Structure 1
Amino acid sequence: MSLSDLRVEFDTRHGRVTALSGISLDVLPGETLGIVGESGCGKSITALAMMGLIPNPPGHVTGGVIEFDGEDITHASNRRLRQLRGRDIAMIFQEPMTSLNPVFTVGDQIAEAILLHQDMSRAEADRQVVELLETVGIPEPEARAKSYPHQLSGGMRQRVMIAMAISCRPKLLIADEPTTALDVTVQAQIFDLMRDIQAKFGVAIVLITHDMGAIAEMTDRVAVMYAGRVIEQGTSDQILDNPLHPYTRGLIGCIPVLGRAAASTDRLPPLAEIPGVVPPLHLLGDGCAFAERCALADDHCRSVRPPLDDKGHPVACHHAGEIA
């Protein structure tokens, strides 16, 4: 999957606003790309664009190219996109309870994807459903296939979503905050499961998250997004060991460190935070969107938008040289 200078705009009560501004990303076979940022930065819109799920109206892809497996699918027909979704490109949504249909068993819902994209009988599909549920670590898969979503725990529902996503052996798996609302033990199990699936099937994964800890654990490369732009990208080691954008440094600084105490007291210091919030898209000016929250910002930052330049790795910050 390759995104090149992708622009997405939405019609709103404030007029047309730009949700994605010149996004360029590559996802290579067998690797995990992390897309990280706060809520409202454009991560999920990027995932929906990859899937061809931008609602039109009010959304519009107004520029750039989305290429998958050598094919330009930017403005592909709905029929062609339905052929690709599920079979070649699959997505794990962040809230399985709202993504699964409550009136059908989980087995029926997984089998539907298999029957849609593969030439097999219902009996063969049912057998494959049981195998998939076993693959994702659900106990008693024959019985669980007959369960309804409300009869399963949050972790098991997420495993069902993963089973559905890998049912047709996709080339690209997009995981949109797949561990939201799960406790840390279940989160670790889901991440282990995703790594096992990648090793077994060679699938490329796009992991969308706001958690730099998940980025450190799961990804090969990282794209940091803010206000609809990629503001820093590189290998995971580059981003975590040598972050050059103040926003990236802020995200890393927000990670609590067990046992870190203040020098002069036994009490732990307060958790770090990035001041302010992501600005509304219709209020973005000509300068850096992060300027109002940045301690390094000056008049130049507020008036001139920084380009994505190579400072050892790509970063969009006028002060990246000083930070380095």
Structure 2
Amino acid sequence: MDPLLSVRDLKVEFDTRHGRVTALAGISLDVMPGETLGIVGESGCGKSITALAMMGLIPNPPGHLTDGQIVFEGEDITRASPRRMRQLRGRDISMIFQEPMTSLNPVFTAGDQIAEAIMLHQDVSKKEAWEEAVELLRVVGIPEPRRRAASYPHEMSGGMRQRVMIAMAISCRPKVLIADEPTTALDVTVQAQIFDLMRDIQEKFGVAIVMITHDMGAIAEMADRVAVMYAGRVIEQGRADDILDDPRHPYTSGLIGCIPALGREAASAERLPPLAEIPGVVPPLHLLGAGCAFADRCPLVHDRCRRERPPLAPHGMAAQEFLGGHAVACHAAEREIAA
């Protein structure tokens, strides 16, 4: 089966006060029809820039897409005209933005904003678009959808605003739905409802989902395949089950170790054991050296890590068999497999 959306060796740079820095350093991803691809990493790893590049929304200036391809259904959309991108954006590739309160227009009702998206891509009247907007609010689980269609964003809860964003994103039945931190600032009950809604939409419309998150718990809940990003690069990717059960990169292991475990036995009767944490922070992009960007935070670092950046690839035939298609960019993982 061919990928629905394919990113190949994508490089994005930004002009900053420190000069031009590389935000995405040659990443490659495939999104298959009907699957959920999770892109995970800390803030500053390049996840949202990847999503904006897929949507053709990198601001230029200061951003520059300097190399690589984004191929949608055989068409390289990095070469598409602005008019062509407006046709694709919202109709074929759609996005749920991270913060609905700032993404929704505060002076238009929810129904008007959904209806506008429908009228941009479909030959329907304003009345027909409004009725479709009401129906979409019903589909995403908003009670009294006709009344809520006439409500403004500030009159809704965070969960309702997120559902309005989802209704807008699916209004034209896209083939790829990019969800950028779709449960940010929502409580755990509403998060579970949003995940259930996304699964229902995927099953109903056959949409492929690209879910961007910092939460490995969300990856375990939703993703079929995973790409772990760090400092503008994909450092590990593969089937979600493989990565969660047997992470090969120390950074991936750290992200998984940060997940609280229900039922974890206490070290003593007085207190639970502390949660694991990854020391340090993602380094500024203009300070990256020649070696692995994770070296200063890695418990398995050695001299080669600081000198040489590891490629993302299985390491030989034995590694391919061992990893089962699970790729990693780590010298320590290479040494372990060789041993």
Q: Per-residue CA shift, 1:41-74, capped at 9, x if unaligned?
A: 0000000000000001111111111111110111
C-alpha contact 1:4 1:23 (8 A) present in aligned 2: yes
The one-letter amino acid paired with 2:79 is H
Residues 1:272 and 2:272 are matched in the alignment:
no
Aligned to 1:166: 170
- How far does residue 265 in structure 1 lie from its aligned partner after superposition? 4.8
Q: 189, 203, 207: which one pairs with 2:207?
A: 203
Match of 1:305 in 2: 309
- The one-letter code matched in structure 2 to 1:139 is P
Shift of 1:262: 4.0
Q: 1:316 and 2:320 equivalent?
A: no
TM-score, with normalisation over the residues of structure 1? 0.98
Q: Distance in 2 between matches of 1:258 and 1:323?
A: 31
TM-score, normalised with respect to structure 2: 0.94
Instruction: Return the alpha-carbon distance in structure 2 between the equivalents of residues 265 and 98 of structure 1.
Output: 45
Structure 2 counterpart of 1:56, from 40, 47, 60: 60
Show structure 1 runs of 4+ deviating over 3 A.
Answer: 262-266, 321-324
Q: Once the two structures are superposed, what CA deviation does each residue of 1:141-177 show, in whole Å capped at 9, x if it has no partner? A: 0100000000000000000000000000000000000
Residue 70 of structure 1 corresponds to 74
Contact 1:20 1:46 (8 Å CA) reproduced: yes
Q: Which of these residues, 108, 111, 124, is aligned with residue 115 of structure 2?
A: 111
Amino acid of the residue matched to residue 213 of structure 2? T
Partner of 1:260 in structure 2?
264
Contact conserved, 2:13 with 2:66, CA < 8 A, in 1?
yes
Aligned pair 1:177/2:190, yes or no?
A: no
Match of 1:135 in 2: 139
Q: What CA distance in whole angstroms lies between the structure 2 residues aligned with 1:158 and 1:165? A: 10
**1:321 CA drift (Å):** 3.8
Task: Specify the alignment match of 2:46 in structure 1.
Answer: 42
Alignment gaps of 5+ in structure 2: none
Q: In 2, Cα distance between the equivalents of 1:322 and 1:181? A: 41
C-alpha distance in structure 2 between counterparts of 1:303 and 1:264, whole Å: 43
Partner of 1:289: 293
Contact 2:267 2:273 in 1 (8 A): no
Distance across 1 between alignment mates of 2:81 and 2:269: 63
Instruction: Please give the alpha-carbon distance, in whole angstroms, between the structure 2 residues aligned to 1:259 and 1:192.
Output: 24
- 8 A contact 2:48–2:180 mirrored in 1: yes
Q: Choose the corresponding residue for 2:150, options 143, 146, 149.
A: 146
Distance 1:210 1:238 in 2: 18
User: Any idea what SS the aligned residue of 1:74 has?
Assistant: helix
1:161 aligned partner, one-letter code: M
User: How large is the RMSD of aligned CA atoms in angstroms?
Assistant: 1.0
Q: 8 Å contact 2:106–2:154 — kept in the other structure?
A: yes
Aligned to 2:252: 248
Matched, 1:82 2:86: yes
Q: What is residue 3 of structure 1 aligned with on the other side? A: 7
Q: Distance in 1 between matches of 2:132 and 2:283?
A: 47
Count how many residue pairs are aligned between Structure 1 and Structure 2. Answer: 324
Q: 2:220 aligns with which of 203, 216, 223?
A: 216
Deviations 1:220-246 (A, max 9, x none): 000000000000000001110010000
Tell me how far apart the structure 2 counterparts of residues 262 and 323 of structure 1 sit (CA, whole Å): 32
Contact 1:244/1:323, CA 8 A, preserved across alignment:
no
> 2:21 — aligned with what?
17
CA gap 1:266/1:322 in 2 versus in 1, 3 angstroms = farther
